[in-house]
Chain A
Amino acid sequence: KAGVTQTPRYLIKTRGQQVTLSCSPISGHRSVSWYQQTPGQGLQFLFEYFSETQRNKGNFPGRFSGRQFSNSRSEMNVSTLELGDSALYLCASSSPSGRASYEQYFGPGTRLTVT
């Protein structure tokens, strides 16, 4: 089975711009979660989608948004970029049922640099 894929792997943007990151989950997985990783704050949860609905949300400003499509692929968008948004953005997917739904499998991440 192919793993979680994320595109692009690297991005450089300017303050004030917006960016869209994409994530394709493992085949059969219906839950997709997004995390931000920075040296200062570590790994922080952004949001989780299941069957095209946001099921859980972290403590991030409204500039961070996401969506999920019917094929379970997900996108996250950050508008009005700030320097502090520079981070590794990780996507994870999990199986839809039972205790296995708590296991999350991560993609390689998208490294976003805001200048």
Chain B
Amino acid sequence: AQSVTQLDSQVPVFEEAPVELRCNYSSSVSVYLFWYVQYPNQGLQLLLKYLSGSTLVESINGFEAEFNKSQTSFHLRKPSVHISDTAEYFCAVSGTVGGGSNYKLTFGKGTLLTVNP
């Protein structure tokens, strides 16, 4: 069975500071990893994804995440945050099971990032 642990439920930071949101996963299968962002009263937006290839993936708004298979982690980082980055961030995993595909996303509990001026 797949599971995702987001180690921090809330992360407060000041504007222009760096931030890391931690995500660890547990899975006995080939994994695909995702970060989603949710703004208040909205759905989930796909922020970035790891499907294959380079273990470092980047988004268009400055976030990056690194897939670390040995540590089963997919931490999200940004070197300098803005007020507008305030939102809830969800890490998710899906993948294959013994040659079969599992398209279901398993989510972590979420991390509320609050950027203060």
A residues lining the B interface (CB < 8 Å) = 4, 6, 31, 33, 35, 42-43, 45, 48, 55-56, 58, 90, 92, 94, 99-109
Contact = CB atoms under 8 A, between A and B. Distances in A.
A89 B66 CA distance: 30
Given A42-B109, A43-B90, A102-B32, A31 B46 contact: no
Given A99-B52, A101-B101, A108-B43, 17 more contacts: A33-B103, A35-B105, A42-B109, A43-B90, A48-B103, A56-B102, A56-B103, A90-B44, A92-B44, A92-B105, A102-B51, A102-B95, A103-B49, A103-B51, A104-B46, A106-B36, A109-B42
Contacts of B110: 42-43
Contacts of A101: 101, 103
Nearest to B107: A43
Contacts of A42: 107-110
Given A42-B109, A102-B32, A102-B51, A109 B43 contact: yes
Contacts of B104: 33, 45, 48, 56, 58
Interface of B: 32, 34, 36, 42-46, 49, 51-52, 90, 92, 94-95, 101-110
A107 to B, nearest CB: 5
Closest 4 CB pairs of A and B: A43-B107, A106-B44, A106-B43, A99-B51
Nearest to B93: A102
Classify the secondary structure of A's interface with B. strand
Contact of B105 (A4, A33, A100): A33
A8 to B, nearest CB: 14
Nearest to A100: B51
A109 B39 CA distance: 12
Contacts of B109: 42
Nearest to A107: B43
A35 B94 CA distance: 14
